[in-house]
Structure 1
Amino acid sequence: MTWEKAASPSMTERGMRIALIFALAAERLTAFYEYGQWLTEAQGASLAADWLSRSKNKMPLAERRQLSALSDQLARQIETSLSREAGMYTAHEMMESLDPNHHSEIAESLMVECERLLDDNLAG
């Protein structure tokens, strides 16, 4: 699994949070389609901590859990709105898009959704 896109040195705090939601949603969908189980909020927060430590960043547990919950919300929205095949394709595209050299219109539109989720959560 690659997280370089989210770990670029010029990334803002906000951008890092959006990228975390996206990457965690990709992981959640992949786990769901491969194993038939959803990651827990704690598992998502743990994945976020691992990624953050690799990029030499830190975030309080409460915030990691909040982003984990937002990624869960997005992943479940995707899963319920798409057929199994389309969901599997979307999960694959999201995982591929974690590589900074991969361009995907699907991933770009989902990043916009991650941004909206973050903004809505901060406003509420």
Structure 2
Amino acid sequence: MNWEKPTPAAISERGMRVALIFALAAERLTAFYEYGQWLTEAQGASLAADWLSRSKNKLPLNERRQLSALSDHLARHIESSLSREAGMYTAHEMMESLDPNHHSEIAESLMVECERLLDEEQAD
């Protein structure tokens, strides 16, 4: 039996941006609930650069900052619209969903929201 993981499918440029918004929002929520502080836009852009480098991708600093700002908007919206317990659960589900083998309806709906935010930003 072959136990090797299949090679992940190539992700589109748009898909990469959507995934970064989602992952950064998950990190922001986790940091907020664990430490009571929000990541700055620059911290988010730096974190995005780290993730991109692991997959041998790059985005210019201004784009990483833009995606960081969108993730901040989403994270703060989630935090303000949920109880602390529900927000912590949502952050946990989002972090778990960074593993492609984890299925979460919450994460799927938030990924759609990330797509909407990116589309709105690009329409402006």
Which amino acid counterpart does residue 31 of structure 1 have in structure 2? A
Residue correspondences, number: 117
CA offset digits 1:8-64 (Å, max 9, x no partner): 451000000000000000000000000000000000000000000000000000000
Please give the alpha-carbon distance, in whole angstroms, between the structure 2 residues aligned to 1:53 and 1:99.
18
Partners of 2:121 and 2:101 lie apart in 1 by 30
Aligned-pair Cα RMSD in Å: 0.6
For normalisation by structure 2, the TM-score amounts to 0.93
- Give structure 1 regions of 4+ aligned residues with deviation exceeding 6 angstroms: none
Amino acid at match of 2:26: A
SS at match of 2:45: helix
Q: How does 1:1-124 map to 2 (within 5 A)?
A: 8-124=8-124
> Which amino acid in 2 is paired with 1:80?
S
- Distance in 1, matches of 2:35 and 2:71, equals 18
Higher relative contact order (CA 8 A, sep 6+): 1
TM (norm. structure 1) is: 0.93
Structure 2 Cα separation of the partners of residues 50 and 29 of structure 1: 18
- 1:58-87 C-alpha deviation (Å, 9 max, x unpaired): 000000000000000000000000000000
Structure 2 gap ranges (5+):
1-7
Q: Distance in 2 between matches of 1:107 and 1:47?
A: 20
State the alpha-carbon separation in 2 of the partners of residues 55 and 106 from structure 1: 25
Q: CA deviation at 1:97?
A: 0.1
- Identical counterparts, % of pairs: 87
